[in-house]
Amino acid sequence: MKAIVKPTPLPDKDWGKGLQLIDRDEPQIIKPTDVKLQVLYGAICGTDVGIYHSKDSLRRQMSVVKTRNVIIGHEFCGKIIGTGKRATSFLLKKVQIEYGKEKFVRDFFLQLSKVKAKEKDARFVQFLEKEFYSSAEMHITDNTCYQCKLGEQHVCQNTVIKGVHDDGAFTQYVVVPVENIILFRKGEIPPEIIAFMDALGNATHTIQSVPVKGKTVVVLGCGVQGLMATAVAKMCGAKKIFVSDFSHGDFTHEKLVKKRFRLAKAYGATECFDVASPEERIKLYETVRKVTNNAGADAVLEMSGSYKAYEDAFQIVRNGGAISLLGLPFGKMEIDFAKDIIFKGVTIHGIIGRRVFSSWDLMRTLLKKGLAKKFMQTGFITHQFPIEKFEDAFAAIENGDALKVLLKP
């Protein structure tokens, strides 16, 4: 099968920019808890872009990989085509619990009860392939560490991220543990949307970290994550949402306004600011102070990974407010802890992954309530490429023309 891979970084060796398209053996079901999926769509994430550019933080992460290369990609939609023995039992219960009230499921299980025992597993897999789309939580946790026992799997001490530490989804087939499988009845959510729910889950987790209902929220960074955070915050009841981004180079002010700010307003932003202009940055500060009676924002969501945006966050957040950090910055930054955090009583949240599985549950609810339709109608998915043209896909992201980009094996 064709697969997009990144060579494993080696000590004291140059970890060159770019990715490779190679032939890899099709993965097989080995463990009884394995599930094999055929990938229909993969979606490019900011992490994948960082891997493409051999970002230092990702070099450290991928240096633990034991093989010569790893298939990247952790956002996808597929369909189940094979299951280990224990995986079959798990999925039978999952379908009954989540969809057992629906007629097509009741009818199937009635038919299944009349099938010979040795044929039941194969018949069930055929049913899943025909009636359901699937994705997966691609952070594979140990479920035994202190954090996992607390229900905090998103900060498991021994997380293995498929597409970073182990083979991912930018290929034709992927194998994942059954406990990580998410099922969607066909017609429930478009498969193109399911393909990037992993990323939507990051934005959703960011919103879950702070109470936004009836609050003033500032979103710093109007890329894919910032736009999704704006949409989720609005659907979760945020009163006012102010969004900023930074035009530069070929990504002009006009392009920023026409593309990203247009979508931000469609998703619920009250006002948007291009803080490449010092005047616009001051206007952002003044606007937030004005609408909050000089208090400041209740919640600031940093989605860009820019230290300049961190400075904005400390300026904008109110005393007793919260800052949630999802964007990954380069290098280091000096912080006046006394002035900006302690005396202001600010709470800072670091956001990693998704809350397992409450972020998935909230996403499903919001998407079915109209968010999926809004994403589809507004053109949030800007490009689709065959996997062989992955270079074109990454180029579209690089030049600022793309938002969500899908790859089709």
The answer to whether 48 and 76 have CB atoms below 8 angstroms apart is no
Q: Which domains does the chain have, with CATH numbers?
A: 2-195+379-408 (3.90.180.10), 202-350 (3.40.50.720)
Output b/e per residue, 267-293; b: 16+ Cβ within 10 A. bbbbbbbbbbeeebbeebbebbbebbe
Please name which of 228, 140, 177, 207 lies closest in space to residue 358, comparing C-alpha atoms: 207
- Residues of the chain below pLDDT 70: none
Measured distance CA(154)–CA(137) in Å, rounded: 10
The residue with tokens 């704006």 is 230
pLDDT score of 251 = 86
Contacts of 178 (CB under 8 A, 6+ apart): 33, 34, 35, 83, 84, 86, 87, 90, 91
